């Protein structure tokens, strides 16, 4: 929360209105601010394995002529797995890094007004800003810049 | 042939008279006649000898002519007055008639019966009622003294015929006398026999009438008191004793008739002994009959109970057989219905097999269509998925556009919702198609199984039909047998009922016999 507090201190007022892309990774419903989402594609692009990459990097794909790493949130965040396969890739960009996150399903784009400072504690789940209660259920709001930095920084 | 006492007495009286009639009427007259004839023959012999001596010299002299035929006739003329002499003839030695006496006869006798050689005379009956004596006449020539006597010389024959009329007359007179005496004796005897016979026969007739009445069973006849001590009185006394004995036997017979066998009449004689033996045997017979009747009654009761059980069993058997027969008939109808139903099932199974094969073909075609639908759905799914992504990206871009992109966001959301609906519909259709495919495969399998089952059903139905026909035939035979058994059981039941009726009648008769026998009183007073 300290990292979230830093972001809040840098750019965000205490309560902002924004959009949240809600998706399901494994058995967990997560949310990413749409400002970090670049594009959604079908998870049918050919992946190229990267030798020596960490376990949460599944490989790279060619997205509009650029190589983007495929980040496995289940492995990286130690989320519980799901029975169904991933069907979408959420192409995100933050902190100057891009990544493609495979997800099982896209819940939609939720327009919300939220105060990151008053989000409930996500508990043991790292790299989150907190837990947000929506009509469709609780959503863990990811701190994507921190996530991507941590993913990039974690050794294999 | 039977004779009355009177006839017998008469016959016994007449019989000696008749026995004496023969010597009186035949023998004695015949003896008198024979004696008379002997006298006549002796007389003729004497005459013949006397005349022979006289005629011998004349016949000797007649050869020398010294004597004539008239002299000869004079010699025999003395016989003319003899009533017995009929004819006299003198013949020469050569059987030449010389002289004769014809005063009592018209013809001279002939020398028919010559005297046998060596005999001097012969006497025989020349014709019925006449005797003839023929004598050889000899002469002995005279010799001088000192000379041996000369041999006798046959010089002729003397023939005398005599009548037997005197003999016959004497015999007739003797017979008439005997007849007169015998007839009188016969009449006297008959009268005497009739008198005596009537006396004896009258008493016997009266005794016989009484005995006849007794013989006819009438013991109430009035028997006269015997008079005297002769055989008739003794007979009446015996008859009286016999009647008294019969009275005693009658009393015992009446007691027996009253079933009283306790006493036996004392008496001598075979009849009393026979009566006593009869009573004794009747006692034993009644005793044995009583025991036999009791055993017979008991046995008949037991037999009756057994027969009633048998009759009840036969009734149950008849009912069971009748039930079985009705069941057989029901089975027969059921077999016929099963055969018809099996035939129908066989036909329907063949039709089902054909329709199942057609259904399998159609189901295969349906399966192919579902595969094609699946392919189409895959394409639709891809399109919807791309539309979903496209709508999400559009909404994302609208979000980034701020207020200007709100409308775009709405459209994108609608597109995404549409895509999701399409995907949901596709999923539903896919599930339906999958269900159809699974159902089609199941249908194919079921149809194939149905075809197989139809064939098996057809075969089974045919087998059932054949079996039902065999069962029908067997059931018909069984029904026929049950009918025969039912008829036999009916006859047996009828026979058992008749036997039961006969045994019931026997039991009643045994009871009746025992009751009748219980009326008898035996020697010890027990029934």
DSSP string, A79-118: PPP-SSPP-EEEEEEETTEEEEEEESEEEEEEEEEE-GGG
The domain spanning residue B84 has which CATH number? 3.30.450.20
- Residue-level pLDDT at B114: 60
State how far the Cα of A75 lies from the Cα of B248, in Å rounded to an integer: 154
- Residue-level pLDDT at A10: 45
Q: CA of B370, closest CA in chain A: separation in Å?
A: 25
Task: Assess B209–A contact: CB distance below 8 Å, yes or no.
Answer: no
Cβ–Cβ pairs < 8 A, chains A and B? 32
* Closest CB to B400 among A34, A40, A41: A34
B350, B458 Cβ separation under 8 angstroms = yes
**Mean per-residue pLDDT, A62-73:** 93
A-chain CB neighbours of B392 within 8 Å are 40, 106, 108-109
* Closest CB to A34 among B388, B389, B399: B399
State how far the Cα of B20 lies from the Cα of B13, in Å rounded to an integer: 12
Pairing of strands A105-114, A16-25: antiparallel
In tens, the pLDDT along A21-57 reads 999 999 899 999 999 999 999 999 999 999 999 999 9
In tens, the pLDDT along A69-90 reads 999 999 999 999 889 999 999 9
Q: CA of A110, closest CA in chain B: separation in Å?
A: 10
B-chain CB neighbours of A87 within 8 Å are 385
A-chain CB neighbours of B395 within 8 Å are 108-109
Hey, are the CB atoms on B396 and A109 less than 8 Å from each other? yes
B-chain CB neighbours of A100 within 8 Å are none
Task: Assess A45–B contact: CB distance below 8 Å, yes or no.
Answer: no
Q: Is residue B330 one of the residues assigned to a domain?
A: yes
The length of chain B in residues reads 527
B455, B349 Cβ separation under 8 angstroms = yes
Q: Tell the residue number behind the tokens 């001596």, with chain if given.
A: B53
Please count the CA atoms within 13 angstroms of the CA of A46 that sit on its side-chain side: 1
B-chain CB neighbours of A35 within 8 Å are 400
Token readout for B492 is 């047996």
Test the B interface: residue of A16, A17, A18, A19 with most B CBs within 10 Å = A19
CB atoms under 10 Å from CB of A106, counted, come to 19
Token readout for B314 is 């036969």
B120, B134 Cβ separation under 8 angstroms = no
B-chain CB neighbours of A88 within 8 Å are 389
Q: Which residue, among A99, A107, A145, A88, has the nearest Cα to A29 in the 3D structure?
A: A107
* Closest CB to B399 among A19, A87, A106: A19
Q: CA of A132, closest CA in chain B: separation in Å?
A: 20
Task: Assess A1–B contact: CB distance below 8 Å, yes or no.
Answer: no
Q: CA of B388, closest CA in chain A: separation in Å?
A: 9
Hey, are the CB atoms on B389 and A34 less than 8 Å from each other? no
Hey, are the CB atoms on B396 and A41 less than 8 Å from each other? no
State how far the Cα of A31 lies from the Cα of A23, in Å rounded to an integer: 6
Query: A151 or B444, which is more confident?
Result: A151
Task: Assess B395–A contact: CB distance below 8 Å, yes or no.
Answer: yes
Task: Assess A41–B contact: CB distance below 8 Å, yes or no.
Answer: yes
Test the B interface: residue of A34, A45, A89 with most B CBs within 10 Å = A34
Q: Which residue of B has its CA nearest to A17?
A: B402
Query: Nearest 5°: phi and psi at A130?
Result: 155, -170
Test the A interface: residue of B384, B385, B389 with most A CBs within 10 Å = B389
B243, B223 Cβ separation under 8 angstroms = yes
- Residue-level pLDDT at A28: 92
Helix (H) or strand (E) holding B98, with range, is strand B97-101
Q: Which residues fall within 8 angstroms of residue A154, CB to CB, at 6 or more apart?
A: A54, A56, A76
* Residue A142 to residues A55, A72, A75, A99, B366, Cα–Cα distance (Å): 20, 14, 15, 14, 50
Q: Is residue B334 one of the residues assigned to a domain?
A: yes
Query: Nearest 5°: phi and psi at A37?
Result: -90, 125
State how far the Cα of B186 lies from the Cα of A77, in Å rounded to an integer: 195
Q: Which residues fall within 8 angstroms of residue B88, CB to CB, at 6 or more apart?
A: B51, B76, B79, B100, B101, B109, B158, B159, B160, B161
**Partner A, chain B 403-442, Cβ-Cβ below 8 Å:** 409, 413, 416
The reply to whether B181 and B330 lie within a common domain is no
Work out how many domains chain B is built from and give that number.
2
Structural domain including B164 reads 5-140+151-196
Task: Assess B382–A contact: CB distance below 8 Å, yes or no.
Answer: no
Quick check: helix, strand or coil at residue A125?
Answer: coil
Token readout for A111 is 């327009």
- Residue-level pLDDT at A22: 95
CATH number for the domain running over A2-153: 2.40.50.180
User: Among B180, B196, B212, where does a domain finish?
Assistant: B196
Low-confidence ranges of chain B (pLDDT < 50): 103-106
The reply to whether B344 and B456 lie within a common domain is yes
B66, B86 Cβ separation under 8 angstroms = no
- Residue-level pLDDT at A12: 45
Q: Is residue B291 one of the residues assigned to a domain?
A: yes
State how far the Cα of B353 lies from the Cα of B165, in Å rounded to an integer: 159
State the average pLDDT for chain A: 84
Q: CA of A47, closest CA in chain B: separation in Å?
A: 19
């Amino acid at each position: 929360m300290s990292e979230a507090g830093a972001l809040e201190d840098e750019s965000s007022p205490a309560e902002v209105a924004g959009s949240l892309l809600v998706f399901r990774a494994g058995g967990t419903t997560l949310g990413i601010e749409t400002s970090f989402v670049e594009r959604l594609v079908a998870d049918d692009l050919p992946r190229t394995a990267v030798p020596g990459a960490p376990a949460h990097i599944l490989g790279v794909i060619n997205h509009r002529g650029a190589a983007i790493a495929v980040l496995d949130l289940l492995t990286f965040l130690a989320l519980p797995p799901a029975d169904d396969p991933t069907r979408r890739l959420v192409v995100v960009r933050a902190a100057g890094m891009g990544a493609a996150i495979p997800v099982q399903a896209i819940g939609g784009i939720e327009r919300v007004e939220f105060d990151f400072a008053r989000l409930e504690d996500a508990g043991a789940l790292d790299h989150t800003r907190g837990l947000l209660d929506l009509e469709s259920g609780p959503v863990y709001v990811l701190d994507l810049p921190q996530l991507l930095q941590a993913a990039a920084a974690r050794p294999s | 042939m039977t004779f009355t006492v009177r006839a017998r007495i008469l016959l016994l009286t007449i019989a000696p008279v008749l026995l004496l009639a023969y010597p009186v009427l035949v023998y004695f007259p015949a003896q008198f006649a024979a004696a008379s004839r002997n006298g006549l023959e002796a007389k003729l012999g004497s005459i013949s000898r006397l005349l022979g001596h006289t005629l011998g010299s004349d016949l000797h002299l007649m050869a020398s002519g010294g004597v004539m035929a008239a002299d000869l006739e004079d010699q025999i003329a003395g016989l003319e007055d003899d009533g017995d002499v009929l004819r006299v003839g003198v013949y020469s030695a050569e059987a030449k008639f010389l002289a004769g006496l014809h005063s009592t006869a018209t013809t001279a006798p002939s020398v028919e019966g010559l005297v046998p050689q060596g005999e001097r005379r012969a006497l025989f009956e020349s014709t019925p009622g006449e005797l003839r004596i023929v004598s050889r006449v000899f002469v002995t020539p005279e010799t001088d003294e000192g000379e041996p006597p000369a041999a006798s010389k046959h010089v002729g024959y003397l023939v005398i015929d005599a009548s037997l009329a005197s003999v016959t007359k004497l015999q007739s007179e003797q017979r008439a006398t005997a007849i007169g005496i015998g007839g009188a004796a016969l009449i006297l005897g008959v009268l005497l026999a009739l008198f005596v016979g009537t006396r004896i026969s009258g008493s016997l007739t009266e005794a016989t009438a009484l005995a006849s009445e007794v013989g006819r069973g009438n013991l109430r006849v009035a028997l006269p008191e015997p008079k005297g001590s002769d055989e008739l009185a003794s007979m009446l006394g015996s008859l009286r004793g016999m009647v008294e004995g019969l009275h005693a036997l009658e009393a015992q017979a009446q007691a027996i008739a009253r079933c009283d066998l306790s006493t036996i009449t004392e008496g001598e004689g075979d009849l009393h002994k026979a009566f006593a033996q009869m009573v004794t045997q009747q006692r034993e017979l009644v005793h044995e009959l009583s025991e036999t009747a009791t055993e017979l009654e008991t046995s008949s009761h037991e037999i009756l109970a057994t027969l009633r059980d048998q009759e009840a069993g036969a009734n149950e058997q008849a009912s069971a057989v009748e039930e079985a027969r009705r069941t057989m008939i029901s089975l027969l109808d059921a077999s016929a219905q099963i055969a018809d139903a099996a035939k129908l099932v066989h036909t329907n199974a063949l039709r089902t097999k054909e329709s199942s094969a057609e259904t399998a073909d159609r189901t295969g075609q349906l399966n192919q269509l579902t595969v094609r639908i699946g392919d189409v759905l895959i394409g639709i799914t891809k399109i919807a998925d791309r539309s979903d992504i496209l709508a999400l990206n559009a909404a994302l871009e609208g979000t980034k556009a701020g207020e200007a992109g709100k409308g775009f966001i709405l459209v994108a959301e609608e597109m995404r919702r549409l895509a999701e609906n399409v995907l949901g519909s596709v999923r539903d259709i896919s599930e339906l198609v999958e269900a159809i495919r699974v159902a089609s495969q199941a249908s194919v399998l079921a149809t194939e199984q149905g075809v197989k089952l139809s064939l098996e059903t057809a075969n089974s139905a045919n087998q059932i039909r054949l079996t039902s026909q065999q069962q029908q035939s067997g059931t018909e035979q069984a029904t026929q047998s049950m009918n025969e058994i039912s008829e036999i059981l009916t006859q047996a039941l009828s026979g058992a009922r008749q036997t039961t009726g006969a045994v019931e009648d026997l039991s009643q008769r045994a009871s009746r016999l025992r009751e009748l026998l219980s009326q008898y009183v035996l020697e010890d007073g027990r029934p």
